[in-house]
Amino acid sequence: MHVLSPGLVRWNPAVLMHYTRYLRRAGTIACARLERSEAVSYTVDFQPLGRRGQAREGESLLDCARRLGIGIVSVCGGRGKCQACKVQVVKGSVSQPTSSDRETFTEAELANGWRLACQAYPGSNCRVGIPADSMAAPQRTQVEGLQTTVAPEPSVRDYQVELAVPSLDEYQGDADSLLAALDREHGLQCRRVDVGVLRSLSPLLRSWHWRCQASVRDDEVISVAGWSSPVLGLAVDLGSTKIAGYLVDLASGRTLSARGIMNPQISYGEDIVSRLTRVMENPEEAVQLKEAVVGAINDLAADLCHDIGGETDRIVDAVIVGNTAMHHLFLGLPVRQLALSPFVPTVSQSLDVKARDIGLRAAPGAYIHLLPNIAGYVGGDHVAMLLATEAFEAEDLTVALDIGTNTEVSVIEHGYISSVSCPSGPAFEGGQIRDGMRAASGAIERLRIENDMVQYHTIDDVPPVGICGSGVLDAVAQLYLAGILNERGRMRDDHPRVRTRQGLREFVIVPDSQRANGAEVVLTQADVRQLQLAKAAIRSGIQILLDVRDRREEEIRNVIIAGAFGTYIDLHSAIAMGLLPSLPHDRFKQVGNAAGAGSRLALVSLHKRAQARDLASRVNYVELGSAPGFTEAFVAAGYLGRFRIRDGKRQPIE
């Protein structure tokens, strides 16, 4: 296997992120209609979705969930074979464990309520937890569940005041009168009123009969409104494919509305690198890219406000998190130095800019806060993830990673944080895979091989159209476990489903007879190589950071997997094919969109912003390609199977 230069992979074209899938489905579930209750039945409360419904007599938890529109993964069709539909009964009783349950779970797990959903029948009203692993369509409440409780400490607060009515004796300016009232009634020593506020202040004060609500940030009045107006904040996770927006009540810290949209920059290039290339070649397009994304966020904010019957001019603060490239494109910063070695951002530290300087529609004097970037390829979204998961405070050896075209990895222990950026390429998103596709309707997202029979599950349960990242991951793992791929990733040619086309071996997943458009779905030897490159980049990144700390994989106590793709991957497969270290499953935590949660924390709490600044400044960033021992680690990490890497050598685990 040749060693891949990080720069090279960075320049590969990539497909859209898995994000697509996460948010599309979130919408689907949110819109699912509530079932009418049936006679003689128990109520089942599915968490963390918060969906309740009546289980009909003779209906398993899986059937009940499906009827309610909740997508619990099942590959075997409810026969207790695929072990995909794991759930945990946290309240109430269900039928006794079956032999399938006993094959799947330990006694301790069974005692804790773990069951296969297809094997369990309600015996009372009950509450059932669905782990991310078993969700065909985790949705946003799962992400919201991650939000750690934080005391609201917003950067902007509203104050109600009554101003002195001007007269020939009270001739001071309206703004001066407002500042005097804030001092008199609230003891606030404000000194400035934003010029945008000044431009409408005088007629507004008169229409409100001199009573108003002033939004104050530091010593500056950044907005005025009538009494009892809401005080809104906007948190945005600005992904290269999807944009997630949250409208937050700044006073309580409560999320009022959440929505996702596509990033319109996609029409300028599906992945970040192709967008950067385009801007470097046509610098005038930087403005178009900026305006496209700002326009999209403006639309998103308007929709979020519409959800609650509010107006965007009550958005008095915003936090935007994104990778360094999205951060730069959003602000209209130059990107050439970001795209070329040594990949330096224009700015690393956190920023506060006036919303109007970016073109974001909000209160006249509102600011946007941008979390710090760690390096050219580790941005504020990773900082937000470390913040939301509290990984940055981990005492025990913890690995936190966000898998995508570029995978950011941090290793944390006793306040020490080191980070690396791994150019993992588009394979996990279906890119550069012959029959690969985005995680959209008809994509094979789960796959099992049992007695040479291939079982799969497609998104939306429709006939297969292609295979997406988690499906490819499953496929490689299953082919390896079935002995069809060896540890070097080479495909056997004596298996009934393996054939050679144009000198390239390929495994037939779906014969033409089963496929919607009449063609086949195959996994080629080249596809396997792509996946090996991708997982080698990630696994070697983890190893390099462990080497820096002089620690070993088996000492890792927690692995936090963030991001949409990370939510969908099957842990068994990821470990079996050597993407993730071989560790007990309870050390892994798939947390969904933690960057979005982090953006909301930073929006609501100045303390969290300070933590973000502090953690970013403490990070020891390691440039993967130039780290000692990288080449050896990368080569070793490309092998399939369970193994450890020690002194640059692979040590298989039996």
> Using CB under 8 A as the criterion, which residues of the chain lie in contact with a second copy when the complex forms?
166-176, 179, 192-193, 195-196, 198-203, 206, 331-334, 336-337, 341-349, 351-353, 356-358, 373, 375-376, 621, 623, 626
Please give the DSSP secondary-structure letter assigned to residue 182.
H
Give yes or no for a contact between 363 and 315, defined as CB atoms under 8 angstroms apart: yes
- Using CB atoms within 10 A of its CB, is residue 139 exposed (0-12), middle (13-18) or buried (19+)? buried
Nearer to a second copy (CB atom), residue 344 or residue 653: 344
CB of 337 to a second copy, least distance (A): 5
* Residue 456 to residues 181, 299, 450, 539, Cα–Cα distance (Å): 67, 38, 11, 27
Q: Which residues contact 550 (CB under 8 A, 6 or more apart)?
A: none
CB of 455 to a second copy, least distance (A): 47
Nearer to a second copy (CB atom), residue 196 or residue 566: 196
The answer, yes or no, to whether the previous bond of 342 is cis (omega within 30 of 0) is yes
Q: Which ranges constitute the DSSP H helices of 187-256?
A: 195-207
CB of 636 to a second copy, least distance (A): 23
CB of 599 to a second copy, least distance (A): 19
Helix and strand element counts for the chain (H, E): 21, 29
Instruction: List 114's β-bridge partners, or say none.
Output: 88
Nearer to a second copy (CB atom), residue 58 or residue 342: 342
CB of 31 to a second copy, least distance (A): 39
Nearer to a second copy (CB atom), residue 5 or residue 349: 349
Nearer to a second copy (CB atom), residue 199 or residue 646: 199
Nearer to a second copy (CB atom), residue 166 or residue 629: 166
CB of 255 to a second copy, least distance (A): 28
Nearer to a second copy (CB atom), residue 198 or residue 302: 198
Between vectors from CA 359 to CA 301 and to CA 338, what angle results, nearest 5°?
100
The region, left, alpha or beta by phi > 0 then psi within -120 to 50, assigned to residue 493 is: alpha
Nearer to a second copy (CB atom), residue 211 or residue 336: 336
Q: State both tokens at 377.
A: 């390829």
CB of 210 to a second copy, least distance (A): 12
Nearer to a second copy (CB atom), residue 146 or residue 422: 422
Q: Which ranges constitute the DSSP H helices of 418-524?
A: 469-481
Nearer to a second copy (CB atom), residue 226 or residue 334: 334
* Residue 376 to residues 322, 350, 443, Cα–Cα distance (Å): 12, 14, 33
CB of 218 to a second copy, least distance (A): 13
Rounded to the nearest 10 degrees, how much is the dihedral formed by the CA atoms of 437, 637, 577, 4?
A: 20
Nearer to a second copy (CB atom), residue 223 or residue 524: 223
- Output the DSSP codes for 250-306: TTT--EEEEEEEE-GGGGG-SSHHHHHHHHHH-TTHHHHHHHHHHHHHHHHHHHHHH
CB of 489 to a second copy, least distance (A): 30
CB of 467 to a second copy, least distance (A): 37
Q: Report residue 59: phi and psi, to 5°.
A: -105, 130
CB of 239 to a second copy, least distance (A): 21
Nearer to a second copy (CB atom), residue 421 or residue 605: 421
Q: Which residues contact 521 (CB under 8 A, 6 or more apart)?
A: 435, 444, 464, 466, 467, 508, 509, 510, 515
Nearer to a second copy (CB atom), residue 166 or residue 648: 166
- Number of other residues whose CB lies within 10 A of the CB of residue 199: 10
- Output the DSSP codes for 16-69: --THHHHHHHHHHHHHPPPPPP-SS-EEEEEETTTEEEEEPTT--HHHHHHHTT
Whole-number Å distance between alpha carbons of 236 and 245: 4
CB of 423 to a second copy, least distance (A): 14
CB of 622 to a second copy, least distance (A): 9
* Residue 271 to residues 278, 326, 340, 501, 625, Cα–Cα distance (Å): 11, 11, 16, 30, 21
Q: Report residue 113: phi and psi, to 5°.
A: 95, 5
Give yes or no for a contact between 21 and 439, defined as CB atoms under 8 angstroms apart: yes
- Output the DSSP codes for 454-466: EEEEEGGG----E
